[in-house]
Amino acid sequence: MNSVGARTAARTSAVLRWLAPVVGIAAFLGVWELFVRVFDIPEFELPAPSAILANMRDDPGFYLRNTWVTFREAALGFTVAAVLALVVATVAAASPFLERALEPLVVLFQVTPIIAYAPAIVLWVGTGFRPILIITVIVCFAPFFFNGVTGLLSVDPAALELLRSVDASPREVFWRLRLPNALPYLFAAARIAVGLALVGAVLGEFFALVPSGLGVAIKKAQAFTDTLQLWGSIFSLALLGSVIILLLGVLERNLLRWHASQTLR
């Protein structure tokens, strides 16, 4: 293939990469719309996507305000979990004993459904923002911890020996070798944790008696059988999660230019 042909193929491939998810989502919404219209499903049972989007367009301030609240909770929980998990993972990676001591603890938190102990957290720390943050941190912690430990430990033994040959301190080994090596693992964890952070924030809002947020909007809509607001809030959550994933992807592409995962497919 000549260079002009290769450029055209690359451009086509880039356009298709962006177009494919748009086509997928549009097709899904189209089938949904058709399903509601053909079977004449009443709005209080399942509204059509066009009606949900119209509702969002009519009151954008409501959705923006609540989305911002939920975003703040999720983002803070996500960040605190990432930093805390990386610190704990570093400690665990430095000592096999501590790793074995910490791992079952994290597994226990991970496998116990958060919805089971969310009320207990509210009873313990009270209502408001604090239980939401704690719940979000707990649900996001495990992927960062496990991927962090794996990334910190799975360094190239030859590179480790090379650094030891010039008497590198554990601190230098951490900054020059272990942490950069863990980055792809941490990004993989972050992709999982974005969804979990939103679950944590919404669930926290259900229990924490806070005045606003998409979780609160969903709960109120359910109480008043306001399916348009219910689905509008769900759409807002989906959009928020997608935007965060998109931004994460941009950050990943910039920070992991060196990694094989960033090769264009």
Partner 1 sequence: MSVPPTSTLVRCRGVGKAFAGRSGTVSALAGVDLEVERGEFVSLIGPSGCGKSTLLRIVGGLVPADEGEVLVDGGDPRAARTGKQFGWVPQTPALLPWSTVRRNARLLTKVNRGREAHAVLGEDETVDLLRQVGLGDFLDAYPRELSGGMQQRVALVRAFALGAPILLMDEPFAALDEITRDEMRYLLLRLWEHTGATVLFVTHSLAEAVILSDRVAVMAARPGRIVDVEEVHLPRPRSTDQEDSVEFLHHVHRVRRVLQEGMS
The footprint of partner 1 (CB under 8 A) covers 156, 158-159, 161-169, 172, 176-177, 180, 183, 257-260
Whole-angstrom Cα distance, residue 146 to residue 20?
32
Cβ proximity to partner 1: between 2 and 165 the closer is 165
Closest distance to partner 1 from the beta carbon of 32 (Å) = 43
Whole-angstrom Cα distance, residue 201 to residue 218?
12
CA distances from 88 to 34, 79, 114, 170 (A): 50, 14, 21, 16
Cβ proximity to partner 1: between 31 and 159 the closer is 159
Cβ proximity to partner 1: between 38 and 158 the closer is 158
Structure tokens at 199: 């679950």
**CA 242 and chain centroid, separation:** 9
Closest distance to partner 1 from the beta carbon of 217 (Å) = 43
Residue 103 amino acid letter? E
Rounded to 5°, the CA angle 209-198-53 comes to: 95
Q: DSSP class of residue 53?
A: H
Closest distance to partner 1 from the beta carbon of 181 (Å) = 8
Closest distance to partner 1 from the beta carbon of 176 (Å) = 7
Closest distance to partner 1 from the beta carbon of 96 (Å) = 18
Cβ proximity to partner 1: between 38 and 166 the closer is 166
Cβ proximity to partner 1: between 141 and 187 the closer is 187
Closest distance to partner 1 from the beta carbon of 98 (Å) = 24
Cβ proximity to partner 1: between 190 and 214 the closer is 190
* 225 backbone dihedrals φ, ψ, rounded to 5°: 50, 40
CA distances from 258 to 181, 189, 262 (A): 11, 19, 7
Rounded to 5°, the CA angle 19-21-25 comes to: 115
